[in-house]
Amino acid sequence: MKESYQAYLPEYDIYLYNTGEAQRAYEFFGCHYIPKLRMHRFCVWAPNARSVSVVGDFNGWDIEKNPMEPWKNGVWTAFIPGLADGDNYKYFIYGYDGSKVMKADPFAFHAEVRPNTASKVWELGGYEWHDSSYMKRRLKKNILKDAVSIYEVHIGSWRTKEGYRFPSFREVADELADYVSDMGYTHVEIMPVAEYPYDGSWGYQITGFYAVTSRYGTPQDFMYFVDKLHSRGIGVIMDWVPGHFPKDEHGLAKFDGTHLYEHENVLQREHPQWGTLIFNYGRPEVVSFLVSNAMFFMDKYHIDGLRVDAVTSILYLDYARDGCFVPNEEGGNIDGHAVEMLRRMNSTVLTNYAGAMTIAEESTAYPMVTKPPYDGGLGFTFKWNMGFMHDTLDYMKMDHYFRQFEHNKISFSMYYAFSENYILPYSHDEVVHGKKSMVDKMFGDYWQKFASLRALYAFMFAHPGKKLMFMGDEFAQFIEWDYKKQLDWFLLEYDSHAGMQRFVKDLNHIYTAYSALYELDDSWDGFRWLNVDDREQSTFALMRMSGEEAVVCAVNFTPVVREDYRIAMPQRGSLERLICSDDEIYGGSGVMPDKKLQTEKLALNGMPYSVKITLPPLGAVYYRFTLKSKGDGKR
């Protein structure tokens, strides 16, 4: 290797990578143009390979023309002139086991459209961002105290264009930004967009962790997507998948002829349910690869948050193994190396990008998921509340009569509501694989299904915790989600679906307008049950509070109108109706409680006051509560 090249191979970067401390390994590894040399530098970690060469369009895929040289600690390098953005390439690796395989670049920024699998030479510069004011505002935000209403989207099936196999990031961005802003959502969460070979995995089986999928355009097109949403004040959360990767030959599997990224022990290597490989979190270089990957999307694409997929499968050594697993050093089932990787990722991302968030999809009672690492926690900002989701959906599937016997399915979540910082998710996982769509899960006839779903959404928005809804749920898509086609937008021609969309829109705007509904999601200071034990009538009433502001929500989960239904109130005051799910404009029956109400000095449920409300069938109503005078009792 020429001595002049060595100045462009900083040893410290390799040291950080080898020790698991790298945070921006993408600045060194992969393919980068070096202006002073007028060459592209290629760097790949393949410590056990017998030889490596760069092959591509530019050399006729000849393994002899551009051999790589071993540099330091398992890193191979090459400098090649005359390349341009869009040139296809791979690494030809003569592996330790004698295998000869062409691998995609683990750090490539772009790739061919599937089914082709080559990496592409590509620079990430050239896009002019316009979101500086948005990013400055984000720095000052305390996301835990903010309204967060997330619209989960699969880019390829939200809305497609005639004549296109895949929509482009730019096309989707222009329409999605307008739609989400109008609907009142605060964030968009996109299902994985890192490069993946199999459409049916929805992006959850990744081969190119640093390459935004070419299905929808270029890296710069994705930058436009994020920038456009930021221009409307909408945050962008991205699903991130550090739990596993597929066995495709061009991917990370057995990368240098050894189990480099995955576990060597066969009992730890594979996910039995998914047929994928598990990262070896005990290998420092793997930690560097993953932490740098999380940082990459925050750095280069201005992402506002990462929702980490399948955290349960990452944490538990016995996940889906029917008791056959390799225990940790203490004989337990927690992967300590995975715990440390997650802590490092969260600490690194959240200390470098103030105002950003990380979200754990974790379905067990693993402790302190959203507590800081210095207190023994994992360090996530939020955790999905899977218990709330399962309990409420189980309840809503139930015959109205039998709900009285399962009353606690609605109230139980408040026993642990403040143990973590929660997001209440009705995600894509709940509308596939025979689970039915959200509206079709609801018990009853056609009208009752829609009424029930409106009531459920109203309860969710009043319950402590941030909100998440999958695309199509907002207008009651009636069939299950199909990634191969766009949502059934034609349903908006029907009053019941248009009414549902209007209701969700108004619900979002009320949610973001009243801090009582979101500011104190983490303590009893922001929540109080008013009626919680009326199981015979399947009704609930609660109050959300913040400072002097309060919102009352009452829900009737039966098809029976409750005339003059009395709700306990802690203080004397007046109530002004904000929204009623049974309003005819939403497709309701038109049973409307009074617009304004006054509390009465009549004790109920241990509170000195109460108020009479007409509760609509399978309906919910919000009231703004105003005190008549200060100091009259305590909240």
Q: Which of 13, 262, 309, 391 is catalytic?
A: 309
Q: Is the distance from CB of 292 to CB of 23 less than 8 angstroms?
A: yes
Q: What is the β-pairing status of strands 357-360 and 305-308?
A: parallel
Instruction: Give the per-residue pLDDT at 5.
Output: 81
**Is residue 594, in this structure, part of any structural domain at all?**
yes
Q: Which of 508, 554, 550 lies closest to 525, judged by CA?
A: 550
Q: Output the domain CATH number for residue 532.
A: 2.60.40.1180
Q: Of 120, 148, 168, which residue sits at a domain end?
A: 120
Nearest of 287, 306, 285 to residue 352 by alpha carbon: 306
- The residue among 94, 120, 146 that closes a domain is 120
> With the C-alpha atoms ordered 256, 260, 266, 272, is the resulting torsion angle positive or negative?
negative
Q: Is the pLDDT of residue 631 over 70?
A: no
Average pLDDT over residues 239-254: 97
d(CA 250, CA 72): 24
* Domain extent for 21: 3-120
Structure tokens that stand for 42 in this block? 């290629």
225 domain residue, yes or no? no
Q: Count structural domains, the chain.
A: 2
Q: Does pLDDT of 372 surpass 90?
A: yes
Residue 529 lies in a domain: yes
For tokens 């690869």, the residue is 289
Close Cβ partners of 217 (under 8 Å, ≥ 6 residues apart): 168, 169, 170
Element (H, E) at 612: strand 609-615
List residues bridging with 528 in a β-sheet. 543
Instruction: Evaluate if residue 440 carries a pLDDT over 80.
Output: yes
Max Cα–Cα distance, the chain, nearest Å: 91
User: What single letter denotes the amino acid at residue 321?
Assistant: R
For residue 418, being part of any structural domain is answered with: no
Q: Which of 361, 430, 473, 583 is catalytic?
A: 361
Q: Which residue reads 């330790």 in tokens?
A: 96
79 membership: H or E segment, kind and range: strand 75-81
The token pair at 596 is 């304004």
Q: Is the pLDDT assigned to residue 8 strictly greater than 90?
A: no
Given pLDDT bands bounded at 50, 70 and 90, which one contains residue 627? confident
- Phi/psi region, residue 472 (left: phi>0; alpha: psi -120 to 50; beta: rest), is left
Residue 218 pLDDT greater than 90, yes or no:
yes
Residue 323 pLDDT level (bands cut at 50, 70, 90): confident
Mean pLDDT of the region 617-627: 97
What pLDDT, on a 0 to 100 scale, did the predictor assign at position 163? 62
Give tens-digit pLDDT for 273-298.
999 999 999 999 999 999 999 999 99
**Long-range pairs for 245-249 at CB < 8 Å and ≥24 separation?**
245/205, 245/206, 245/207, 245/209, 245/276, 245/277, 245/279, 246/196, 246/197, 246/198, 246/201, 246/205, 246/206, 246/207, 246/275, 246/276, 246/277, 247/275, 247/276, 247/277, 248/117, 248/197, 248/207, 249/101
Inter-residue contact 370 to 364 (CB < 8 Å): no
Place of tokens 């898509």: 477
Confidence check: pLDDT of 551 > 70: yes
CA distance 551 to 577: 10
**Measured distance CA(491)–CA(498) in Å, rounded:** 8
Q: 24-47 burial, b for 16+ CB within 10 Å, e for fewer?
A: bbbebbbbbbeeeeebbbbbbbbb
pLDDT classification of 3: cutoffs 50, 70, 90: low
Give per-residue pLDDT as tens, 62-91: 999 999 999 999 999 999 999 999 999 999
pLDDT, mean of residues 386-413: 97
Q: Residue 66's domain is classified under what CATH number?
A: 2.60.40.10
Q: What is the structure's pLDDT at 128?
A: 96
Flag whether 112 is in a domain.
Answer: yes
Other CB atoms within 10 Å distance of the CB of residue 4: 10
With residue 621 as reference, give the H or E element that holds it: strand 619-627
Q: What is the pLDDT of residue 160?
A: 84
Task: Identify whether the C-beta of residue 203 lies closer than 8 Å to the C-beta of residue 310.
Answer: no
Q: Flag whether pLDDT at 336 surpasses 70.
A: yes
Residues 6 or more apart whose Cβ sits within 8 Å of residue 49: 76, 93, 94, 95, 96, 256, 257
First to last CA, the chain: 74
Distance CA(437)–CA(396), nearest Å, equals 13
What pLDDT is stored for residue 377 in this prediction? 97
Confirm if 146 and 154 have CB atoms less than 8 A apart: no
What whole-number distance in Å separates Cα of residue 275 and Cα of residue 261? 16
- Confirm if 557 and 403 have CB atoms less than 8 A apart: yes
pLDDT tens readout for residues 474-496: 999 999 999 999 999 999 999 99
- Helices and strands in the chain: count of H runs, count of E runs: 14, 28
Amino acid 634: pLDDT: 42
**Dist. CA 590–CA 482, nearest whole Å:** 34
pLDDT band at 630 (very low <50, low <70, confident <90, very high): low
- Does the residue 98 lie in any domain? yes
In this predicted structure, what is the pLDDT of residue 1? 62
**Which of 161-175, 578-592, 621-635 has the least mean pLDDT?**
621-635
Residue 559 confidence (pLDDT) above 80? yes
pLDDT digits (tens, 9 = 90+) for 77-130: 999 999 999 999 999 999 999 999 999 999 999 999 999 999 999 999 999 999
Residue 618 forms part of a structural domain: yes
Band (625; pLDDT cuts 50, 70, 90): very high
Domain boundary residue among 100, 120, 140? 120
For the cut 60, the answer to whether the pLDDT of residue 635 exceeds it is no
Per-residue pLDDT at 6:
79
443's CB contacts (< 8 A; 6+ apart) are 396, 397, 398, 399, 400, 449, 452
Residue 425 has pLDDT above 80, yes or no: yes
Long-range contacts of 445-451 (CB under 8 A, 24+ apart): 446/496, 447/496, 447/587, 447/589, 448/559, 448/618, 450/476, 450/496, 450/499, 450/500, 450/587, 451/559, 451/581, 451/582, 451/587, 451/588, 451/589, 451/617, 451/618, 451/619
Question: Is the pLDDT confidence value at 632 over 60?
Answer: no
**Residue 309 a catalytic site member:** yes
Distance CA 567, CA 565 (A): 7
What distances in angstroms separate CA 369 from CA 150, 162, 227, 316, 460, one per listed residue?
20, 44, 30, 14, 22
Kindly state whether residue 58 falls inside one of the protein's structural domains: yes
Mean pLDDT of 226-252: 97
